[in-house]
Structure 1
Amino acid sequence: MSAVTPCRAGPDIAPTSDLPTDLAGAPVPLVLSRSDLTGLVTPGEVVDLVEQAFADLADRVAAQAPLTVAALDPAAHFLPMTAVSGRAGLAGSKLLADVPGNRDRGLPAQRSVLVLVDSVTGAPVAVLDGAVPTRLRTAAASAVATRWLAHEDARVLGLVGAGALALEHVRALAEVRPLERVLVWSRTAERVAAFAALVAEHRPDLTVEAVGSPEAAVRPADIVCTLTPARDPLVQGAWFTPGLHVNVVGAPPRPDHREVDGAAMARSRVVVDSVATALHESGDALLAIAEGAIDTDACRLELGDVVTGRETGRRAPDEVTLFDSVGLGLLDVALGAVLVERARATGRGVAVDLAA
């Protein structure tokens, strides 16, 4: 597979003349709700867009700020995920609130809001609810890793977790591999049933099988995605078969949370979204290092270097590959640019002149 070539997720769409502008003639910032953002892009478009963002980061035409955490105690962590994209002409920051106790309140454990500004003037461009872009770009990152690391004929997908990320992962991975079966495990049977119904609606060509344990989702699979907010490992490296590709996605960016054990990291060729982020906030990496299962050098291969051809992806048919995904603000900025562009073109959102 050759290195990625520059692309856009859709045609250039110029703002129409009837859109509100400020005194300088620039479009007034948009506030976009979750419903405003739904349906503006296809999974395939997001995969290509995210792949280009990884390449831009490796080519240094985009920049990613180090991930930092503001917290008074473990009950609530606040992470500003900041980046600038020369391609999009935007800088942005997504404030991620990680509040595990929200589950007891009947609220999402993670909530976020994305702010975009012009990268030249700093003028505000948009404020977006973070849920839709986060789900889309997270699944697309797994699909990009799968495109470059999994076997070309991988057909069986194992999912450990059936929550909000599960459907998006099926839709995104089906863009890059000829999936036929999905094996899914969750602690909650109702969640599995709801997931299966959604897959039947969006991808009726796929067979969904509920399995009784994480091991049963992993051993027969060609591709595995872990999509849980686990603190202790749910997946063991002892279950990995030769040639497997694993996307480790679900654990929050906390150094004491992980989904896979040290043996899983040790048995795999590890690829990360960002070395700095992985060695600061990935419990899957940091706990494996602390146990002596791997060292820091095992976590120094970035996906962007694989996408651009600087590094080789899969090196042998029986190699086990693992993508450790913590999440990059750059992906939110790149996707946010297209979402705002299409929202303006279709009349979605509320224009608010913040300088009025």
Structure 2
Amino acid sequence: MSEILFLDGARTRAALEPRRVLEAVATALVAIGRDEVSVPPRIAAHTPHGLLGAMPGHVPGLGLAAKLVSVFADPARPGRSSHRGIVALFDETDGRPLALMDAEPLTEIRTAATATLSARALARPDADRVAVIGTGAQARAQIALLAAVAPETPVRVAGRDPGRAASAAALHPAGSVAEHIEDAVRGAGTVFCCTGAVLPVIRRAWLAPGTHISSVGGSHGPEVDADTVRDAALFAEWHGAATTRPPSGAHELQDLPSGRHVTLLGSVLAGEHPGRRDEDELTLFKSTGHAALDVAAAHVADTVARAEGWGTRVTL
């Protein structure tokens, strides 16, 4: 008989303390860069309407976890998809199941944390203006995390729906709305792309010298244009972002010319790679997600929830 902790969506979200998630995700990224994690290739079962993916992983010191996530078209939002799932955390020493939690808020904040860490590591030190492109759940999670860790940095939000853009911008004390995506991007030192785009949403011509772009969307197509990819130094969570086909790999990083190299973000965070080479260099971090990051966030949620006495304990 073993007892597990069940966290519903609200408790999962409350237990994902932003600064602790940032710290744990940084640890996981460094472990990925050093090839210290155990993460098998992603698998999925497909139906005529969507898929169910499985992402198990182990990060030494953070734990052993697996995410099951379904990705289905959302009839209420044409052109968009829903992501629903659960994350199960296990004891890494004896294999006991420890906790079961909602995958949606966990995925949102670990993705936002990864993007934020990329900006901290790769953006110019004087980059004092941020653009967030997108108005959906991931964009809102990114804005909320920036509000928690950088509340004084101006954030301009742009998307297809001005009302949703205004609602998202209101999550940040220094948030504002740009009328067009180009208006938000021009002059920004850091650009976070958080969309469900199938075609590029930003253009190379809009980017000032030294801009950092963090692209976490584009699961169904390229979010960043080919000219930006051509001119930027490229970074990712794992080498598979460039060496595996979508959806595991990134659309933007497929079939790179000979000699193009993708640097792991964890190597930069560990001080094993310099990252940005000069003030005018464009840097592009392309995120595809990684099971080790789910492990990191699940570890934080479990630790915080137990300390606060949150959740329901269930005996199996």
| Partner of residue 300, structure 1 | 262
TM-score (norm 2): 0.90
Structure 1 runs (4+) greater than 6 angstroms displaced: 175-178
Residues 256-286 of structure 1 deviation map (CA, whole Å, 9 limit, x = unaligned): x121111121111110111114432557844
For the pair 1:34 / 2:32, whether they are aligned, the reply is no
Native 8 Å contact 2:15 2:302 kept in 1: no
In the TM superposition, what are the counterparts of 1:91-110 in structure 2 within 5 Å? 91-104=64-77, 109-110=82-83
- 1:50 to partner: Cα distance: 0.9
Higher Rg of the two aligned structures: 1
Give the corresponding residue for 1:11.
none
Residue 268 in structure 1 maps to residue 232 in structure 2:
yes
How much has 1:298 moved relative to structure 2?
A: 3.0
Structure 1 stretches of 5 or more lacking a match?
1-21
Secondary structure of 1:132 counterpart: helix
Aligned-partner Cα distance in 2 for 1:241–1:102? 38
Q: 1:129 to 1:285 in 2, by over 3 A?
A: closer
Report the count of equivalent residues.
315
Q: Which amino acid aligns with 1:353?
A: T
Is the CA contact 1:258–1:282 (under 8 Å) kept in the aligned structure 2? no
SS of alignment partner, residue 171 of structure 2: helix
Q: CA deviation at 1:61?
A: 3.5
Cα RMSD (Å): 2.5
Secondary structure in structure 1 of the residue aligned to 2:46? strand
TM-score of the superposition, structure 1-length normalised? 0.81
Contact 1:142 1:173 in 2 (8 A): no
**2-side partners of 1:108 and 1:343: how far apart?**
30
Which residue number corresponds to residue 279 of structure 1?
243
CA distance in 1, matches of 2:24, 2:183: 33
SS at match of 1:56: helix
C-alpha distance in 1 between matches for 2:229 and 2:246: 12
Gaps of 5+ in 2: none
Distance, in Å, in 1 between the alignment partners of 2:246 and 2:229 is 12
- The aligned counterpart of 1:5 is none
How big is each residue's C-alpha offset from its partner over 1:196-254, in whole Å with a ceiling of 9 and x where there is no partner? 3322xxxx3x1x332222211111210001111111111122222110000001222x5
Could you say which residue in structure 1 is the equivalent of 2:59? 85
Cα shift at 1:168: 2.9
How much has 1:70 moved relative to structure 2? 2.9
Q: Give the aligned residue type for 1:53.
A: A
The match for 2:23 is 48
Q: Does 1:187 align with 2:160?
A: yes
- Aligned pairs for 1:83-232 within 5 A: 83-88=57-62, 90-104=63-77, 109-173=82-146, 180-199=153-172, 204=173, 206=174, 208-232=175-199
Residue 99 of structure 1: CA displacement? 1.2
CA distance in 2, matches of 1:30, 1:297: 48
Q: Could you say if the C-alpha distance between residues 176 and 311 of structure 1 is closer, same or farther in structure 2, counting changes exceeding 3 Å?
A: farther
**Is the CA contact (8 Å cut-off) linking 1:30 and 1:127 kept in structure 2?**
yes
Note closer, same or farther for the CA distance 1:60–1:287 as it changes in structure 2 (3 Å cut): closer
User: In the TM superposition, what is the alpha-carbon distance from 1:317 to its structure 2 partner?
Assistant: 0.4
